[in-house]
A = this chain, B = another copy of it.
Amino acid sequence: MKLHILGCYAATPRTMTSPTSQVLEIKGHMFLIDCGEGTQVQLRKNKIKFSRINHIFISHLHGDHFFGLPGLVSTFRLLGRDREMHIYGPKGIKEVITLLLKLGSSWTNYKLTFHELTSKEPQLIFEDDKVTVETVPLDHRVYTNGFLFKEKLGERKLNIEAVARYKIDTAYFQNIKNGKDISSDDGRVIPNSELTFDTPRPKSYAFCSDTAYSPEIVPQIMGTTALYHESTFLESEAHLSGKTRHSTAKEAAAIAKAAKVGKLILGHYSTRYRSITLFKEEAQEVFQNVELADDGKVFEF
């Protein structure tokens, strides 16, 4: 799993920093998460092929998380895209993108499918044979979802020696890889654990931005390999987090600790701060494995 941070600063695009956008590479997918103004330029800078993106997840309809979407939708058309594009986001996203296209008297030459979200409970919104994506309802000033991306448990690995020893016909191999036990000709049951090796534990990634401190999300993201949690403020501005429904670095770390995640990645820094190093220091008072997102940074897990 590979996470490309295209932008991770709050509020407004600036000369050197970009608003929220990231690409998660997972099991052959390139999922675009949020799309602040300038995302298409960030995609180019980070050498991510536009054609590999087929799913876009929008957390909420504040400008710094989706004002890059209309331009990206138009650019896909100019690039001659013909594959279907899926956009997941709060209700209203279809109306506004449709209106923008209509005002320009243009339409996409590819199928554009909107999956509008309204539920305040976690929802499975994408599933194939390798990956699931669920919403993680967050607590912000407008309707907002985080997203939880999970690898599925893969096939078990065949123990070649064992199947040879038991003289098992290849016709049964797929069942064995799927975890089934096998009955031998003499009626004896050979347990699957004797015929296969464990597969690596499936990895998962939770994107939680924007949100106030929200312990309600902990059970859902429990044990996640990596958690990106917004940390708009340092402790010195903690008084602003309640009113604006944002989190401090320490609050993000408290969520990471309670959810026993593998790694916490901080981002969505307020542009008031000249340096982001204090975010890590303050979070590490609560939770050790903290990394700082920054534009152009790539995480592998």
A interface with B by C-beta (< 8 Å): 11-15, 37-38, 40-41, 44-45, 61-63, 67-68, 70-71, 74-75, 78, 90, 92-93, 95-96, 99-100, 103-106, 141-142
Contact = CB atoms under 8 A, between A and B. Distances in A.
Contact of A104 (B11, B38, B142): B142
Given A67-B70, A100-B63, A100-B96, A105 B41 contact: no
A93 B104 CA distance: 11
Contacts of A62: 104, 106
A50 B91 CA distance: 32
30 contacts: A11-B75, A11-B78, A12-B40, A12-B71, A12-B74, A12-B75, A12-B78, A13-B71, A15-B45, A37-B37, A37-B38, A61-B104, A62-B104, A63-B70, A63-B71, A63-B74, A63-B100, A67-B71, A67-B74, A90-B103, A92-B99, A92-B103, A93-B103, A95-B99, A96-B96, A96-B99, A96-B100, A96-B103, A99-B99, A103-B142
Contacts of A13: 38, 40-41, 71
Among A75, A99, A103, A105, chain B packs the most CB atoms within 10 A around the CB of A103
